[in-house]
Amino acid sequence: MAVRFVRKLEKYGRLSKTECQVIVDVSQNTRKIAARKSILHEDENSQKSCVILSGLACRYKIFEDGARQIVGFLVPGDFCEGYAHQPEYHLGTLSQCLIAYLDNDALAGIMDEYPRISRNLWRTSKAEAAVLREWLVNIGRRPADKRVAYLICELCTRLDGSDVDVAGGCALPVSQIELADATALSTVHINRVLSRLRDNKLVTLQRRSITIKDLGRLKAYAQFQDAYLQLPKSA
């Protein structure tokens, strides 16, 4: 399963067979975590980083009144750096996930010994920053229906090739509440938005999932541009 982490890093530069094997070897400490469970609490110090090998996870903040803001989704191959000091957010699963835990000291040694691995990890952090900037634009300026459609398109695009694929689209293991928490909308508002998308035959709704059968139509509706995702170009 660590091959997904290898593929993610190789998006940002070719790695040798030895470097790929080093990544696989350091990703052997794995654990399955059920859906909607905590991986890391905001007040928990961690000496380990983690990689999502399968499933869907998210970063989020919890406010004093119990409200939650999701600030990012993690898909297979995504790396989440551990913190020696207090983390900035919670990390939790949305679907059942397989997580690889990487010892931070061992990872630091690998980065010192293999500069190309270090370079590619740095490039992944730059790509994540680009996604965060797009989220700010999405929440700040797009109308609610386009905002939700845009985020759904992003998730489907990032999950391309994973086990959520359906013919021409994808099936997202996210609830309406989770989409509301990621788009700064109330549950009432998100229900209205998703109902409009459903009535336009752009999505199909279930209790804890959303199915998109024609991703091309949804991308056109949202005016989705994927350049910020820094996807590998076709040969």
Mean pLDDT across the chain: 89
16 and 121 share one domain: yes
Is 235's pLDDT higher than 50?
no
Task: Give me the pLDDT at residue 40, please.
Answer: 77
Residue 101 belongs to some domain of the structure? yes
What is the mean predicted confidence (pLDDT) over 93-97?
A: 94
Q: What is the pLDDT of residues 144-198, one digit of tens each?
A: 999 999 999 999 999 886 666 566 678 899 999 999 999 999 999 999 999 999 9
CATH of residue 200: 1.10.10.10
Is 21's pLDDT higher than 80?
yes
Confidence band of 119 (pLDDT split at 50, 70, 90): very high
Alpha-carbon distance 120 to 141, whole Å?
32
120 and 159 share one domain: no
Task: Give me the pLDDT at residue 224, please.
Answer: 97
90 and 32 share one domain: yes
Task: Give me the pLDDT at residue 44, please.
Answer: 58
Q: What is the pLDDT of residues 41-84, one digit of tens each?
A: 655 556 788 999 999 999 999 999 999 999 999 999 999 876 55
CB < 8 Å & 24+ apart, contacts of 151-155: 151/179, 151/182, 151/183, 152/179, 152/203, 152/210, 152/212, 152/218, 152/222, 153/215, 153/218, 153/219, 153/222, 153/224, 153/226, 154/224, 154/226, 154/229, 155/56, 155/73, 155/75
What is the mean predicted confidence (pLDDT) over 112-137?
A: 95
Contact 136, 147 (CB under 8 A): no
Task: Give me the pLDDT at residue 169, please.
Answer: 73
Give the rounded percent of residues in the chain with a pLDDT score beyond 90.
76
Task: Give me the pLDDT at residue 171, please.
Answer: 87
Please give the residue range of the domain that contains residue 219. 143-229
Give the rounded percent of residues in the chain with a pLDDT score beyond 70.
89
What is the mean predicted confidence (pLDDT) over 105-124?
A: 95
Of residues 89 and 148, the one with the higher pLDDT is: 148
Residue 191 belongs to some domain of the structure? yes
Of 81, 99, 131, the residue that ends a domain is 131
97 and 11 share one domain: yes
> How many domains does the chain contain in total?
2
What is the mean predicted confidence (pLDDT) over 4-14?
A: 92
